[in-house]
Amino acid sequence: MKVLKFGGTSVGSPERIKHVASLIMPGERNVVVLSAMSGTTNSLVEISEYLYKGNIPGAQETINALEAKYVAVISELFATDGGRLKASEALEHIFALLRSYLSEPLTEAGEKEILAQGELMSTALMQRYLEEKGVRSALLPALDYMRTLESGEPDMQHIGTRLRRMIDLAPKADIFLTQGYICRNSTGGIDNLKRGGSDYTASIIGAVLEAEEIQIWTDIDGMHNNDPRFVEGTRPVGELHFEEAAELAYFGAKILHPSCVLPAKLHNIPVRLLNTLQPEAAGTVIYNFPPDGKLKAIAAKDNITAVKIKSGRMLLAYGFLHKVFETFEYHRTSIDMMATSEVGVSVSVDDDSRLAAIVDDLKHFGTVTVERDMVIICVVGDLEWQNCSFQAKVISALDGIPLRMISYGGSNYNISVLVRSADKLRALKALSAALF
Ligand code: ADP
Ligand code: ASP
Ligand code: MG
């Protein structure tokens, strides 16, 4: 059994939905995870924002526009009136639910329910399309098995038990369809695995079912060696180690959700990144293999803030770093990069929502400086420290670009530098030119 996940653009139009249906191989009893059609989750976010602001006409207009889009999709997708009718009925329920929020103040739980509708719509459409095509599919509702613990981590045991039971209850199905992204939290409320989280759904399912492979189908032929949105001439990387893929996903390679690698890695299940628009392309396979001494790819993580704490008096004393880290921990803010010297420490964070309180607390231990609008540029590969010169090539490629921080040796897989946002493009291009 394989797990196949199709992202938003892969199911973004009637034509694409038909194409995905043709890629799903009946007979293998694979699990197919679908995202919302591209643009839908953004519209649902927008609806919630209008509702929070009490702008009912704004919410209404966005719901109407979304509904018009789906009405058009249904009329093009289905060949028969029967198919159209069934799909329209399913979606009518969803739009009625969205409209029910127009008359009450929005709560966080309500927002989560609104955000869940995109995946419920795409799977409803696909299920009915497959039915019209005579394919025997079974829908596995994610809200009936996907659950997180109080810690926010997936409840793997519960998910595995429920999912296996649901699969056993559908012996005639050739294909299992399910929603990415959506889940229930530890109190049973509707929740989600954060934006882009359908990749994570696929990986969790692959892990609990001990699948043969997890396939992430998207709009590009695998992990490229640099961000194709900013650099021309990037090329797909054939193979990535789990650790390399995890670093790239964490440091901004949007093709993979950062949490997606871990469940697959722990269960040693290969993850294949494939292109729906070019199914014959080899893509990227992520698995465990011996060190190969190669540089693989460059990624960038935006909206980073650097925080420097300088203390002539305390740094040499025991416990200075402990106090600094404890402050970040207390404010539940994780640190991405760090650099230390005898008189101070610099760290970078991507979540600055609690920064004012953090800075306030850190002022007990030293002089604090904050620099915003920074970017982490991360070069990933098999960078075992005895393999000389990788770091020299990286640093010399960045000659002329001010580097706020450098991090090397934290793992065998990355060298990261912190630069100003204004220098991001220049840095990415210079690295591609020098390294590939
Ligand atoms: P999906 O909707 O299928 O989940 P995403 O938009 O989340 O797709 O991810 C695919 C996109 O990731 C690509 O279109 C590409 O622009 C972007 N991307 C960023 N970095 C990389 C990279 N290193 N390799 C491939 N794609 C990347
Ligand atoms: N639909 C969700 C999003 O747009 C989840 C996903 O596509 O992975 O973030
Ligand atoms: Mg994605």
In this prediction, residue 70 carries a pLDDT of 98
Report the nearest-CA residue for atom 4 of ligand 2: 41
For 227-243, write each residue's pLDDT tens digit: 999 999 999 999 999 99
Q: Which residue has the higher pLDDT, 411 or 361?
A: 361
What number is the average pLDDT over the span 38-55? 98
For 246-303, write each residue's pLDDT tens digit: 999 999 999 999 999 999 999 999 999 999 999 999 999 999 999 899 999 999 999 9
In short, whether 276's Cβ falls inside 6 Å of ligand 2 is no
- Ligand of minimum distance to the alpha carbon of 40: 2
313, pLDDT greater than 70: no
In this prediction, residue 168 carries a pLDDT of 96
Cα–ligand 1 centroid distance for 97 (angstroms)? 31
> What domains lie within the chain, and their CATH numbers?
2-218 (3.40.1160.10), 296-435 (3.30.2130.10)
In the chain, the percentage of residues whose pLDDT exceeds 90 is 91
Least confident of 143-152, 383-392, 396-405: 383-392
In short, whether 39's Cβ falls inside 6 Å of ligand 1 is no
220 Cβ contact partners less than 8 Å away, ≥ 6 residues apart: 228, 236, 255, 275
In short, whether 41's Cβ falls inside 6 Å of ligand 2 is yes
Least confident of 81-95, 312-326, 373-387, 398-412: 312-326
What number is the average pLDDT over the span 136-149? 97
3-class SS letters over the chain: CEEEEECCHHHCCHHHHHHHHHHCCCCCCCEEEECCCCCHHHHHHHHHHHHHCCCHHHHHHHHHHHHHHHHHHHHHHCCCHHHHHHHHHHHHHHHHHHHHHHHCCCCHHHHHHHHCHHHHHHHHHHHHHHHHCCCCEEEECHHHCCEECCCCCECHHHHHHHHHHHHHCCCCCCEEEEECCEEECCCCCEEECCCCCHHHHHHHHHHHCCCCEEEEEECCCCCECCCCCCCCCCCECCEEEHHHHHHHHHCCCCCCCHHHHHHHHHCCCCEEEEECCCCCCCCEEEECCCCCCCEEEEEEEEEEEEEEEECCCCCCCCCHHHHHHHHHHHCCCCCCEEEECCCEEEEEECCCCCHHHHHHHHCCCCEEEEEEEEEEEEEEECCCCCCCCHHHHHHHHCCCCCCCEEEECCCCCEEEEEEEHHHHHHHHHHHHHHHC
Q: Which residue has the higher pLDDT, 319 or 244?
A: 244
- Ligand of minimum distance to the alpha carbon of 216: 1
In this prediction, residue 273 carries a pLDDT of 98
Cα–ligand 2 centroid distance for 295 (angstroms)? 30
In this prediction, residue 315 carries a pLDDT of 55
In this prediction, residue 314 carries a pLDDT of 57
In this prediction, residue 387 carries a pLDDT of 80
Q: Which residue has the higher pLDDT, 344 or 380?
A: 380
In this prediction, residue 419 carries a pLDDT of 98
Residue type, 185: N
In short, whether 198's Cβ falls inside 6 Å of ligand 2 is yes
In this prediction, residue 312 carries a pLDDT of 65
Pick from 218, 272, 424 the residue to mutate for probing ligand 1's pocket: most ligand atoms within 8 Å of its CB: 218
- Ligand of minimum distance to the alpha carbon of 180: 2
Report the nearest-CA residue for atom 9 of ligand 2: 195
In this prediction, residue 369 carries a pLDDT of 97
